[in-house]
Structure 1
Amino acid sequence: MITVQRIRVRWGAAARGAPQANARRGLCRPVLLPPSLPAGDVVVHDVLADEANGYTRQDEVVGGGVGRAHDLGLWLSTETARLVVDRLPGRAAYPRQSGPGRLFTLLPGQVGRYRANFRFTVTSCACNPSWYYEDWLILVANDQVRRDEFISRRPDHDVDHRVHLYGG
């Protein structure tokens, strides 16, 4: 079984200042997995804390095949017992990524952590760009894990692609 947890914190352009940053500080961290997980080769726990609803966490848990990770911008493939985790090109306006990028390869029982942040456009028209921002934390385990494992354990692999989103 492959267990994935994605934590996203989302905010609008008006919430770029220091007081608003303080309100979301510490939200992009692992949380307990739900007590019951669905069956499947891949289980995804997707958590969103959105400024629009006061950063109240909303979560969804789905199970299925490796295709479940595509919705998170990940490509999962196996080489014998190893799990290869690549990042797919996304729809972020910044930073741009032109092609897939290898994040890490996990042996059985290992955990990888990927951190990134993005600026997205609400509209596709360049004449009226509306921005929103997301801070991501994705944890991937090449195994079934305890409910608190993502919180209590140091990852075996750590990739940090966070950038300065506001320019300057």
Structure 2
Amino acid sequence: MSIARNLNLWLTSDGPAVTVERLPGAAAFPPPGVSARLFTLAHGQVGRYRANFRFRFTQCACDPSWYYEDWVVHVSNGRVAHDRFLHGEPDHDVDNRVHLYGGPARRDNR
């Protein structure tokens, strides 16, 4: 679970199910907010979370330098086939990618 925490994800088990939530982070965009429930996985299920973020190097307005991260995170509840993340379809798919300069959300066919 420490890997999930390092990714600002919170895992909660409720019997055989696992709920995955995104915790507020330090991204400049999308703006930090409250946690958001991503999905609940039954035993043997896989969830995929996609997001992109814009971060500032400093909190000072005098330095407008940015860097970007584009995430694809797979989470499983229990053991799954070794190639499930790469070749299988997830049971739950959350795509929170945004256009980092405003405008409509970024989507692709992946």
User: TM-score, normalising length from structure 1?
Assistant: 0.59
Q: CA RMSD in A?
A: 1.2
Deviations 1:109-156 (A, max 9, x none): 000011110100011211112101111101100012333110111000
Q: Separation in 1 of the partners of 2:3 and 2:93?
A: 22
> What amino acid is aligned across from residue 42 of structure 2 in structure 1?
L
Which structure 1 residue ranges, 5 or more long, are not aligned? 1-65
The residue number in structure 2 matching 1:154 is: 89
> What amino acid is aligned across from residue 127 of structure 1 in structure 2?
C
1:81 lines up with 2:3 in the alignment:
no
Q: Relative contact order: is structure 1 or structure 2 higher (C-alpha 8 Å, sep ≥ 6)?
A: 1
1:134 lines up with 2:69 in the alignment:
yes
Deviations 1:28-86 (A, max 9, x none): xxxxxxxxxxxxxxxxxxxxxxxxxxxxxxxxxxxxxx233110110001000000000
The residue number in structure 2 matching 1:98 is: 33
The residue number in structure 2 matching 1:71 is: 6
The residue number in structure 2 matching 1:125 is: 60
Q: Separation in 1 of the partners of 2:81 and 2:42?
A: 17
Identity among equivalent pairs (%): 58
Q: Separation in 2 of the partners of 1:106 and 1:146?
A: 16
1:114 lines up with 2:49 in the alignment:
yes
> What amino acid is aligned across from residue 33 of structure 2 in structure 1?
S
- Tell which deviates more after alignment, 155-164 or 144-153: 144-153
> What amino acid is aligned across from residue 91 of structure 1 in structure 2?
A
1:19-98 equivalent positions in 2, closer than 5 A: 66-98=1-33
